[in-house]
Amino acid sequence: MAETLQNLHPELYKKDVEEARQGEAYAPFEGDPNAYSKKFYIESYGCQMNFSDSEIVASILHEEGFGATRNFEEADLVLLNTCSIREKAEQTVRNRLQTFRKQKEGNPGMLIGVLGCMAERLKAKFLEEEKLVDIVVGPDAYRSLPGLISEAEGGQKSVNVLLSREETYADIAPVRLDSNGVTAFVSIMRGCNNMCSFCVVPFTRGRERSRDAESIVHECEDLFSRGYREVTLLGQNVDSYYYSPSAGGGLEGAVTFAMLLEKVALISPLLRVRFSTSHPKDITDDVLHTMAKYHNICKYIHLPVQSGNTRILQLMNRTYTREWYLAKVKRIREIMPDCGLSTDVISGFCTETEEEHQDTLSVMELSRFDMAYMFSYSERPGTLAARRYEDDIPEEVKKRRLIEIINLQNSHSRESYTADIGKTFEVLIEGDSKRSDLHWYGRNSQNKVVVFPKDDRPLQKGDYATVQIKNATSATLMGEMVPA
């Protein structure tokens, strides 16, 4: 039997498949489906920023008379919002295009557009490589979609992959896709100025820019008034959010991330605030104190470590050391002892030795993450690492190290979730549990999923319940509501 990932480690394989599928967002019809003359279908891959962008795209298309459909077979326009972060992410998109190819053979009028990071990375090359693609649009060019669609309708292939230093889509009200009506993502910035050597994002998303604070607060207020009870503020590096209304970026009226968090938290104590992602080099005490001050700012931080070894961190250009990272974790726990913590880890980065891999395991031991996203290194063309270092760790070694990381994290997750048995949490109800409509599904402040039986209380999604935990797996807490 071939040593595929699937038979070497079925758990990991399952995760891969889930990760690949994780992305799909389908837009429901908003309002009267007959109000729209044409239909579009959109699927999103990659990070939450991409999902958030798809909601901007849906809004632009609605204005153009396109209504959303969940069924690509009936779409006039099929869009894939793509991710380039790892090679596998790109392969998933190419496979998906094969499916659409068949559909297009039977319906030549159907247009296919590729959006997002892969569009930006490959640019017009996409049209050569994938002949069935009609439109290629980068993340900063979505306002030009109507024009590009008209060109494509006229039989011309069309591309716009210009990156911008200003575009934040601040004035576009996103159309919420596949929403539970309770939780929403709100983009607060775009792009990234860090140059982590493994990472393609600075090339696909361009320079970092922060969105007007007022437009962010306004969007969150609007969500709250429509019944939403949780917003997640999104950016590749939220701690470097900085918006200055005065020309030249002066201090007058300037808003930092800590100040923005406070503004959003003040909208209502019933509106939960989350954010992602924090960078260990930039997260400040100011942010931690603001989190501690407001009950409705969730006590949860996603703090990607990537590696536990200082030499590797240097090669990765993360600009912090192992000790700096551990000191940040300590600081978080000093200020908020009950704070949930998760991370991202990469195994097998260029030149990583066994000892250096052990350092990653030991940083995990010391930090005790509740959850982690774990990857093996995938070289991305054009990145600093691709240009400077040889991708010299054999695939089997990367995978074996990854499995060790995953096994260790699984045991830490199990410990963390089991330690919650007996504790009582405030849970925001997001809907029915997937397994049974006799149970509610929600999350606690620490971002852990909590499932608990309904009783005769007239609760609905968007309400808060007080739940005592009775049982746990390594990814779910099961509890019961405390008597009223």
The answer to whether the beta carbons of residues 389 and 312 sit under 8 Å apart is no
Min separation Cβ 334 and ligand F3S, Å: 31
Which of 50, 306 has the CB closer to ligand F3S?
50
Residues in a beta bridge with 450:
442, 477
Q: With binding defined as CB under 6 A, does residue 257 bind ligand SAH?
A: no
Q: With binding defined as CB under 6 A, does residue 168 bind ligand F3S?
A: no
Q: Which does 158 bind (CB under 5 to 8 A by kind): ligand SF4, ligand F3S, ligand SAH, none?
A: none
Which of 121, 272 has the CB closer to ligand F3S?
121
The answer to whether the beta carbons of residues 45 and 80 sit under 8 Å apart is yes
Min separation Cβ 343 and ligand SAH, Å: 8
* CA pair distance 280, 289, nearest whole angstrom: 16
Q: With binding defined as CB under 6 A, does residue 85 bind ligand SAH?
A: yes
Which of 83, 152 has the CB closer to ligand SF4?
83
Taking CB under 6 A as the criterion, which residues in 180-209 touch ligand F3S? Answer: 200-201, 204-205
Q: Which does 393 bind (CB under 5 to 8 A by kind): ligand SF4, ligand F3S, ligand SAH, none?
A: none
Residue of 168, 204, 215, 306 interacting with ligand SAH (CB under 6 A):
306
* CA pair distance 434, 450, nearest whole angstrom: 12
Min separation Cβ 426 and ligand F3S, Å: 31
Torsions phi, psi for 295 (to 5 deg): -55, -35
The answer to whether the beta carbons of residues 278 and 303 sit under 8 Å apart is yes
Q: With binding defined as CB under 6 A, does residue 46 bind ligand SF4?
A: no
Mapped onto helix, strand or coil, the DSSP state of residue 111 is strand
The answer to whether the beta carbons of residues 429 and 389 sit under 8 Å apart is no
The angle subtended at Cα 83 by Cα 4 and Cα 36, nearest 5°, is: 125
Which of 161, 201 has the CB closer to ligand SAH?
201
Q: With binding defined as CB under 6 A, does residue 409 bind ligand SF4?
A: no
Task: Please state at what angle helix 145-153 crosses helix 48-63, rounded to 10 degrees.
Answer: 60
- DSSP strand pairing (439-443 vs 340-347): unpaired
Cα 292 to chain center, whole Å? 24
Min separation Cβ 276 and ligand SF4, Å: 11
Instruction: Centre a 10 Å sphere on the Cβ of residue 164 and count the other Cβ atoms it contains.
Output: 16
Which of 135, 199 has the CB closer to ligand SF4?
199
Contact track, ligand SF4, 187-216, x by CB under 6 A: -----x-x-x--x-xx--------------
Q: Which does 346 bind (CB under 5 to 8 A by kind): ligand SAH, ligand F3S, ligand SF4, none?
A: ligand SAH
Q: With binding defined as CB under 6 A, does residue 175 bind ligand SF4?
A: no
The answer to whether the beta carbons of residues 349 and 198 sit under 8 Å apart is yes
DSSP state of 318: -
Question: CB under 6 A: which stretch of 26-34, 79-87, 182-190, 272-280 binds ligand F3S?
Answer: 79-87
Structure tokens at 267: 């909208």
